[in-house]
A = this chain, B = another copy of it.
Amino acid sequence: MRESYREELDDINACLVGMANSVGSAMSTATTALLDADVALADLVIAGDRRIDAVRESIEERCFTLLARQQPVATDLRAITTAMRIVADLERMGDLAEHIAKVARMRFPEHAVPQEVRPIFLEAGHVAESLVAKAGTVIAKRDVETAIELEAEDDVMDQLHKSMFRELLSEDWPHGIEAAIDVTLLGRYYERFADHAVSVARRVIYLVTGERPLSTPAETH
Identify A74's interface contact among B68, B188, B221, CB under 8 A: B68
Q: How distant is the Cα of A194 from the Cα of B136 in the complex, in angstroms?
A: 31
Smallest CB–CB gap between A80 and chain B, Å? 9
The yes or no answer to A78 lying at the interface (CB within 8 A) is: yes
The yes or no answer to A115 lying at the interface (CB within 8 A) is: no
Smallest CB–CB gap between A107 and chain B, Å? 11
B64 A81 Cβ-Cβ under 8 A: yes
Smallest CB–CB gap between A9 and chain B, Å? 15
The yes or no answer to A5 lying at the interface (CB within 8 A) is: no
Question: Could you say which interface size class chain A belongs to?
Answer: 35 or more
Identify A99's interface contact among B88, B185, B221, CB under 8 A: B221
Smallest CB–CB gap between A73 and chain B, Å? 5
Residues of chain B within 8 A of A212, CB atoms compared: 57
Write out, one digit per residue, whether chain A residues 55-72 have a CB within 8 A of any chain B CB (1) or not (0): 001000000100110010
Residues of chain B within 8 A of A140, CB atoms compared: none
Can you pick out 20 interface pairs between chain A and chain B where the beta carbons lie within 8 Å of each other? A53-B216, A64-B77, A64-B78, A67-B77, A67-B81, A68-B73, A71-B71, A71-B73, A85-B88, A88-B88, A102-B221, A103-B221, A168-B177, A169-B177, A177-B180, A180-B184, A184-B185, A185-B188, A185-B221, A188-B188
The yes or no answer to A117 lying at the interface (CB within 8 A) is: no
The yes or no answer to A95 lying at the interface (CB within 8 A) is: yes
Smallest CB–CB gap between A103 and chain B, Å? 7
